[in-house]
Structure 1
Amino acid sequence: MSGYSSVGQSAVYEDGDQRNLKKSEVPGRPRYEEGVEHSHLPNDSKDQRSIANRLGNEERKLSRKEYEDPETRAAKKDPTLPATLHGNEPSKGAKVDAELQAEEEEYLKKKGK
């Protein structure tokens, strides 16, 4: 019984249980990744972007909206056109949209606009 202490055997304790880690060895949370895409909302009132940066962002948005491929422009004129251009039958929704568009144009012509 010479190997026993008042709290238990010395073999119960391991080296790592009783020592303190250095600050460099302490596991920390992962670093915040800077520059994550979509981390800033354009309408955020607490964002510290300058007025010039906000204006530039809006101008870029407008320039992107102006560019449309020919198929998108054609779809605005006739909803069934993209399907027929690809050799397919237009969907039921496209046919309904075309009918509604024709009715609205007829209504506007009657109204004189």
Structure 2
Amino acid sequence: MSGNSSVGTSGVYEAGDQRNVKASELNKATPYEEGKEHSHKPNDSKDERSIANRLANEERKEKEGDHDDPMTAAQKKDPTLPAQLHGNEPSKGAKIDAELQAEDEAALKKKSGK
């Protein structure tokens, strides 16, 4: 038995993750870039970010611009297109969405024609 502990071996008490961060590394992190990807959800009511941090996040998003990836943009135009781009047959739901979208467009053209 090592040490005076009756709980476990000395391996339990190694300092691995219990060490303090060096002062030189303390201020190197940039806001919103530290931590895991998508660890903070902007609309999470339980997230304890300040109003200033939320405002800074929104300003950062406006600067970057929320650009959709090509697949999302293609899906907005035609629900069956992403599957066709991958060489697959569109799902039944995608086909129904395409039919509904076509019906909506036809109804809007009919209304605007009057």
Q: TM-score, normalised by structure 2?
A: 0.53
- Count of aligned residue pairs for this structure pair: 82
Match of 1:84 in 2: 84
Shift in CA distance, 53/109, structure 1 to aligned 2, threshold 3 Å? same
Q: CA RMSD in A?
A: 3.5
Matches within 5 A, 1:1-113: 38=39, 42-44=44-46, 47=48, 49=50, 51-61=51-61, 66-112=66-112
Question: What percentage of residue pairs aligned between the two structures are identical?
Answer: 56
Q: Which runs of 5+ in 1 are unaligned?
A: 1-24
Match of 2:30 in 1: none
Equivalent-residue separation in structure 2 for 1:40 and 1:80 (angstroms): 30
User: CA shift at 1:70, angstroms?
Assistant: 1.1
Which letter does structure 2 place at the counterpart of 1:111?
Answer: K
Larger Rg: 1
Equivalent-residue separation in structure 1 for 2:83 and 2:41 (angstroms): 38
Q: TM-score, normalised by structure 1?
A: 0.54
User: CA shift at 1:44, angstroms?
Assistant: 4.5
Match of 1:14 in 2: none
Equivalent-residue separation in structure 2 for 1:86 and 1:48 (angstroms): 41
Residues 10-61 of structure 1: CA distance to partner in whole angstroms, max 9, x if unpaired?
A: xxxxxxxxxxxxxxx6x8xxx9xxx98648975349x462x33220122345
Shift in CA distance, 94/55, structure 1 to aligned 2, threshold 3 Å? same
Which letter does structure 1 place at the counterpart of 2:45?
Answer: N
Equivalent-residue separation in structure 2 for 1:67 and 1:61 (angstroms): 10
Equivalent-residue separation in structure 1 for 2:93 and 2:65 (angstroms): 25
Which letter does structure 2 place at the counterpart of 1:54?
Answer: R
Q: Which runs of 5+ in 2 are unaligned?
A: 8-17, 19-33
Shift in CA distance, 40/100, structure 1 to aligned 2, threshold 3 Å? closer
